Structures are given as structure tokens and as C-alpha cells.
Amino acid sequence: MAVGAVVGLVIVVVLALLLLSLSVRMVQQYQRGIVFRFGRVLDRVRGPGLQLIVPVADRMVRVSMQTTVIGVPAQGVITRDNVTLTVDAVVYYRVVDPVKALVNVRDYPAAVLQVAQTALRSVIGKADLDTLLRDRDRINAELKAVIDAPTEKPWGLLIERVEVKDVSLPEGMKRSMSRQAEAERERRARVIAADGEFQASRRLADASRAMAGTPGAYQLRLLQTVVDVAAEKNSTLVMPFPVELLRFFDVVARRSGAAAVGHEPAAAPGAGPSGTPEREPAAAPGAERADGHRGGPPAR
């Protein structure tokens, strides 16, 4: 009698433990539990902690609410300006409605990957190469909007972030872009140098006007230049020659030449350019002179 009671008690305890193990489920902090009772989803989503379900009738599926990162494989894309590129991206998403993520789509990570590949080809194909390289933020925003549209409401997924990781260009395109960048940098350098020369010329013009009002400023500037040159410990000292002195000599030379021309003695009447008397031109043979005789040799 006593042995039978002990055996019965043991059987009851074993059945209770088995029933408890079938009805208790552990849900982690980053998970949510979805309970299916005879194939139908219960409205209440189970939170983290120990959760009790009806054995045999209920089945719990845990869904992770963490942010998931998937890499989009490299895709060969032709841009709007007919440039062939190889582009890859990365997508960050998380589940916001675990019921939709389980019921409305099968294997939602794979579904998100396929949508991301299609969206990457579509968005890159509508953009120019310059836009893709310069305005990467706008491309990322367009990718996020395109991927988020079919996944948020129907599948219960939230696309948090989409980024283009790498853009691989053909070698010929890389060489062309490097030459273009070099030419652009050279153009900027020339413009900056020309702008500096223009500003320096304006400053020099202002300085010359300021120094023109004070004649002694030129002499002070000359002495300062001599001091700067002598500070280098050179064996040769270069002294600038004032331009005003050259102009003075030029004016004196012109005045001396004009005075010399004004005091030249006048030539005698009938004299040639050198002052000698001009000879009367000989009459032609047989021609009659002014005194009535004909030209020619005198008669004997």
C-alpha cells in the first residue's frame, strides 16, 4: 500500500514537471513572443520574462527586436550618363511589428536583401556620376525611402539607415577624373595667383599715392631697401638709380640741343647748305645767254 502511494506520487510529480516544462517559455529582453493557438495568432504579444502557454495547444515563436545589419552585394549598375559602375551598400533595419514580420512575409531578412538590391539598381540608374560621387547623402536618403516603402507597413519592418559603401570606377574613368581634377587645381592656382597680383598692385598704387604727397618718403624707402640688402651680408651692394634723375638729364639734354639749334649762323644769300656760294649752272651749247651771246666756246 505504501509502495503504491509512493509510486503514484512520483508519477504525479513527473507529470507536473513535464507539464510545467511544456507550458513555460523564456523570452529575452530583446525579444517578443508571438503565441499561435491551434494555428491562430493571439492578440497579446508576450514581453520579456517567463511566459506560460497552454501545452500542446499553443506554440510560441520568438522574434528579435534588435537592429539587423545586412550587406548588399556589389551590383553592376549603369548610371544615367551611361557610366558602368560597381556599387555595394549596407542596410540597417529592425522589426517594429513582430506579428506582421512573421505572418505577412516569409524569411524577412532575405526579403529585405532582395528589395535592397533592386532599389540600389533603380536609384543609381537614375543618378549621374557626379551626383553619386558628390551628393552621397541624397542617394542614401533615396535608397532608404525606396526600401522603406514596401517593408514598413506590409512587413512591420523599419529601415533605419541605408549607406552606399563603395563605388568602383573603370580604370579609364579614373584616369580621366584625375586629369580633370589636376586641371581644376591648376586653374584655381592660377586664379588665386592672379588675384594676389591684382591686390598687390592696388596696394602698391595706394602706397605710391601716399608717398607722392611726401617727397622724403622715397628717400626713406631707398634707405630701407639698402638696409634690407645689407642685412643679407652680401659682397655686392646694389644701389637703385632714381628715375627722376634720368628725367632731369633728359630735360637738360633737350634744352641744350634746342639752344644749339637756335644760335647757328645764318647762311649767305646764294650759299648752299654748307655755306659755299652756289655756282650758276652752265648753259647748254648753242643756247642764248642773258647778255645776248650764245653759249659755247669763245671765238678766237
| pLDDT for the residue numbered 273 | 44
Range of weakest confidence among 16-25, 42-51, 151-160, 225-234: 225-234
CA-CA distance, 113 to 118, in Å (whole number)? 9
Q: State which amino acid sits at residue 217.
A: A
Q: Give 36-70 as a DSSP string.
A: EETTEEPSSPB-SEEEE--TTTEEEEEEE-S-EEE
In degrees and rounded to multiples of 5, residue 274 shows phi and psi of -95, 5
Q: Which value, in Å, is the radius of gyration of the alpha carbons in the chain?
A: 54
Identify which of 115, 114, 120 has the alpha carbon closest to the alpha carbon of residue 79.
120
**Which conformational region is residue 107 in: left (phi greater than 0), alpha (psi within -120 to 50 degrees), or beta?**
left
User: What are the start-end ranges of the H helices in the chain?
Assistant: 2-23, 98-103, 108-125, 129-134, 136-148, 152-155, 171-212, 216-230, 243-262
The predicted-structure confidence for 62-106, as pLDDT tens digits, reads as follows 999 999 999 999 888 888 888 888 999 999 999 999 999 999 998
Q: Is the dihedral of CA 158, 100, 56, 23 positive or negative?
A: positive
**Contact between 85 and 77 (Cβ < 8 Å):** yes
- Calculate the dihedral angle through the C-alpha atoms of 137, 142, 143, 148, rounding to the nearest 10 degrees: 130
Q: How far is CA 29 from CA 49, 240, 266, in A?
A: 7, 88, 127
| pLDDT for the residue numbered 280 | 46
Cβ atoms within 10 Å, residue 88:
16
- Residue 275 pLDDT more than 60? no
Residue where the block lists cell 513555460: 24
> Residue 243: which pLDDT band, with cuts at 50, 70 and 90?
low
**Average pLDDT of the chain?**
80
The predicted-structure confidence for 143-176, as pLDDT tens digits, reads as follows 999 999 888 888 999 999 999 988 888 888 778 8
| pLDDT for the residue numbered 244 | 67
CA-CA distance, 31 to 48, in Å (whole number)? 7
| pLDDT for the residue numbered 242 | 64
**Contact between 164 and 136 (Cβ < 8 Å):** yes
Of 68 and 260, the one with more pLDDT = 68
Instruction: Average the pLDDT over 130-155 and give the result.
Output: 89
Three cell numbers, residue 229: 640688402
